[in-house]
Amino acid sequence: MASPNNHREHLRRLAGKNNHRPRPTRQRSFTGDIEHVAAETYLITHLAFTLLRYLGVGYRWIMKLLALGCYAMLLMPGFLQVAYYYFFSSKVKRSIVYGDQPRNRLDLYLPADVSEPKPVLIFVTGGAWIIGYKAWGSLLGLQLAERDIMVACIDYRNFPQGTISDMVNDTCQGISFVINNIASYGGDPNRIYLMGQSAGAHISSCALLEQAAIESGNRDSVSWSVSQIKAYFGLSGGYNLLDLVDHFHNRGLYRSIFLSIMEAEQSLKKFSPELKIQDPCIKDSIPLLPPMFLFHGTGDYSIPSIASERFADALTKAGARAEVILYDGKTHTDLFLQDPLRGGKEDLFEHVVSIVHANDSDALAKDAMAPPRRRLVPEILLKLAHNISPF
């Protein structure tokens, strides 16, 4: 078996070759965008009716849906500003195709200046494995691009269009595409970071460990390596499904539908990263894993913060580098939505930027001089949204 150092050198040579690839031509016309939106709308409507057949009539999920609608209306002033940027900015490359399956698309957020290769953050959005969509990462993409960090938001098949295996496979394929093609867009293939939020944190950590297992078997056949990810950021994630299935049921994600998403009860252990990391079959790949940073709010009722603490403990015991950062009183959405919409300085955002720019003194100097981010939503609406949030 090749040593990790030799493996990394081989991957660096591959990345160097990618620097000379011509820029992929994946931009579509406005008419093409309209046709794509129409097709997506039809698909989503069809899947929504399929999902309703799974859910049936249930008090909990109906109340959550109503609360979600009110929550979105309260934050609408910020969402509209971000949507305008998403649809009309020349620095957003929407729906780049990365695979052959439905939803195999990603959005790319470019910094203003890409004359030099920029670090890249791959983001996997949350959405309870049911309502995730790549555009949910628009706010993060906008703000990180302002700090000279390129962001690739990966879409993946949601349930009932796909189950957890499909989600993990889509994410692995999206990561591979970014690593092998990002140089053509001005990104640095040697500075790739991976981040997931909520269900996206679960899916992306599963993808990372799935890749580690593949590399343990035959490293010469892989299209990307866990060693190419410089750091992993998990935000408000759940990593042990056996501990969470009853918790989700009580919050409206009923056991029957959750087990359908996760491919039956016998698969819960297979798709639990906290348990997967203890698998002896992947012990040879543990040293290749990037540093793992797990962020969680102690006021999170959707996924309790103990989930990140236990995963960090399991990673450390397995020999990986892991750190858990807790935010007192923050809810499931505070860290990802309300706080960024509030503007100003934000601890989570600054922490991620400082890690991405850790070895770039010029970027750190610019970060120190960066003005506070502007407020997008009035404080009274943010407080109301905090109180009514279904998460």
pLDDT tens for each residue of 349-385:
999 999 999 989 999 999 988 888 899 999 999 999 8
Catalytic (active site) residue 360: no
Q: What is the mean pLDDT of residues 307-336?
A: 95
Which pair of tokens denotes residue 130? 């049911």
Residue in 176, 198, 205, 389 annotated catalytic: 198
Q: What angle do CA 55, 132, 183 make, to 5 degrees?
A: 160
**pLDDT for residue 52 is more than 90:** no
How would residue 24 be classed by pLDDT, with cut points 50, 70 and 90? Answer: very low
Q: What is the mean pLDDT of residues 85-95?
A: 94
CATH number, span 59-388:
3.40.50.1820
Which pair of tokens denotes residue 203? 């899916």
316 C-beta neighbours (distance < 10 Å), count: 15
Catalytic (active site) residue 332: yes
The count of residues in the chain is 391
Q: What is the mean pLDDT of the chain?
A: 86
Which is more confidently placed, 264 or 64?
264
How do residues 129-165 score in pLDDT, each as one tens digit?
998 999 999 999 999 999 999 999 999 999 988 999 9
The one-character DSSP state at 208 is H
Enumerate the H helices of the chain as residue ranges. 4-18, 30-55, 59-74, 76-88, 138-145, 164-181, 199-217, 241-250, 255-261, 273-276, 306-318, 339-342, 347-356, 361-369, 379-388
Q: What is the mean pLDDT of residues 268-273?
A: 96
What pLDDT, on a 0 to 100 scale, did the predictor assign at position 250? 87
- For the entire predicted model, the pTM comes to 0.85
Catalytic (active site) residue 36: no
**pLDDT for residue 20 is more than 60:** no
Question: In terms of Cα–Cα distance, which of 53, 59, 384 is closest to 251?
Answer: 59
What pLDDT, on a 0 to 100 scale, did the predictor assign at position 302? 93
Contact 195, 232 (CB under 8 A): yes
Distance of alpha carbon 161 from alpha carbon 163, whole angstroms: 7
Which pair of tokens denotes residue 358? 């850790």
Say how far residue 103 (Cα) sits from the centre of its chain.
Answer: 15
Enumerate the H helices of 182-240 as residue ranges. 199-217
Burial 341-367 (b: 16+ CB within 10 A, else e): bbeeebebbeebbebbbeeeeebeeeb
Answer positive or negative: Cα dihedral of 133, 136, 141, 142: positive
233 DSSP β-pair partners: 195, 293
Residue in 7, 202, 296, 332 annotated catalytic: 332
Report the greatest alpha carbon distance in the chain.
Answer: 59
Which is more confidently placed, 245 or 20?
245
What pLDDT, on a 0 to 100 scale, did the predictor assign at position 131? 87
Contact 175, 189 (CB under 8 A): no
Contact 116, 108 (CB under 8 A): no
Q: Could you state, in order of their start, the residue ranges of all structural domains in the chain?
A: 59-388
Contact 106, 153 (CB under 8 A): yes
What residues contact residue 298 under an 8 Å CB cut-off, 6+ apart? 305, 326, 327, 328, 329, 330
